[in-house]
Structure 1
Amino acid sequence: MIVVAPLAGLLLGFLDFVWIKYVPFPLGGLGNSMAVWAVAAFLVTRRSRWNLPASVIGAVMMLVVAVPAYYLAAALIQNDELSQAYASYALIWMALGVVAGGIFGAGGYLARVPGRLQRVAVALPGSVLFAEAAIELLRAGDPSYGVAEPLMLAAILIALGVVVSRRALLFTIPLAVLGFVVFSLTGFR
């Protein structure tokens, strides 16, 4: 975990910036998706053989490291200021990474361990994608976002949510509602 999680974070942050910079919209919009980062943390911990505490710590470490790695990539690729890596907004994203890492790290662990919570945990990736899609749908028509871009991104997030939720759709929708509320409380809307 001590090597894998920070390395995964470096890759996530760096590749995310490259994705945003070079992949055209609407697919490029996935790079700005908190849900995609949460799903990445879930997948890393689900694929690992870490215990519950290590999964949570690993996911948190991965997401926290990914934030400055993103800004490092921006500095290297387009000469952005390196100070962005520790600016107040970067620290807020890192704090959100702690919260998301805790939830999705535990979810990744529980998704591979037989038990009552396994099906709920398997629903987490789809639910966060649906929750973010709902936020994008609410942005449609807002002068800051336009109509087409949020609708296209929402359609992609919904499609991804359906693909990853096919085994746990019953739990995905209520968790998506909860995720939407959490996004709203954090001001992500």
Structure 2
Amino acid sequence: MPPTRRALTLVAPVAGFLLGFLDFVWISLVPYPFAELGNSTATWAVAAFALGWWARAGALRAAVAATVLLVVAVPSYYLAAALLQGDDLAVIAAPAALLWMAFGVLAGVVFGVAGTWAHLVGWRRVVGTALPAAVFVEEALRFVGKARSGYPGAWWNVIIDLALAALVVLLVARAARARLLTAAVALPLAVVGALTFTAVAG
């Protein structure tokens, strides 16, 4: 049964605060290479997908909730950095933070809607279930580039991201045929995502 609008309104900002704050704690405490999951855009995107999946009914409602999740997570992350590491609180309003919030709006809409699509039938279900796997594959492709440039231990991150992509496929797509189709669609989506990320970040 989908959550009520009131429940979703409460959960989205609270989950966003926890995502950002605990993300920084994760980076501070967990050893490499798993610490990289704290800096992972894929991790945040899948969190938005999970909220959309939980919201179920209404693509617009899921998109708004997932956007709130990611936008709130950004200042929460920098707040944790200020409290735990002594960083300047002014960074919360810095251009880099505002840029990440803008990315959060985009990712929240895309992955929040994907979470609701994963409950539907037809092509929307295929795309919806493929997107969370695709974002981990896309991140793995970026780590391949880093590994070739001599980034220490990057191959471990490739392995971790690909393993998480496979895990997402197993969890979201239940039947064997659906899993194969999800994996097949996730690969070209990952390539498109990698090209898009390179164009925007570059």
The one of 96, 119, 138 equivalent to 1:112 is: 119
CA distance in 2, matches of 1:185, 1:39: 22
CA distance in 1, matches of 2:155, 2:104: 26
Q: 1:126 to 1:46 in 2, by over 3 A?
A: same
CA distance in 1, matches of 2:100, 2:90: 15
Mean CA deviation greater in 22-31 or 115-124: 115-124
- 1:6-33 CA-to-partner distances (Å, cap 9, x unmatched) read 1110010001000001000000111001
**2:66 is aligned with 1:59:** yes
**Normalising by structure 2, what TM-score?**
0.87
Q: Percent identity?
A: 44
Alignment map for 1:1-189 (pairs within 5 Å) = 1-142=8-149, 146-166=150-170, 167=179, 168-187=182-201
Q: 1:21 to 1:132 in 2, by over 3 A?
A: same
CA-atom RMSD, angstroms?
1.3
- 1:106-142 CA-to-partner distances (Å, cap 9, x unmatched) read 1011112234310211011110000011011101243
**Normalising by structure 1, what TM-score?**
0.93
The ranges of structure 1 where at least 4 consecutive aligned residues each deviate by more than 2 angstroms after the TM superposition are 113-116, 146-149
Gaps of 5+ in 1: none
Does the 8 Å CA contact 2:138/2:191 hold for their aligned counterparts?
yes
Gaps of 5+ in 2: 1-7, 171-178
Does the 8 Å CA contact 1:165/1:172 hold for their aligned counterparts?
no
Aligned length: 185
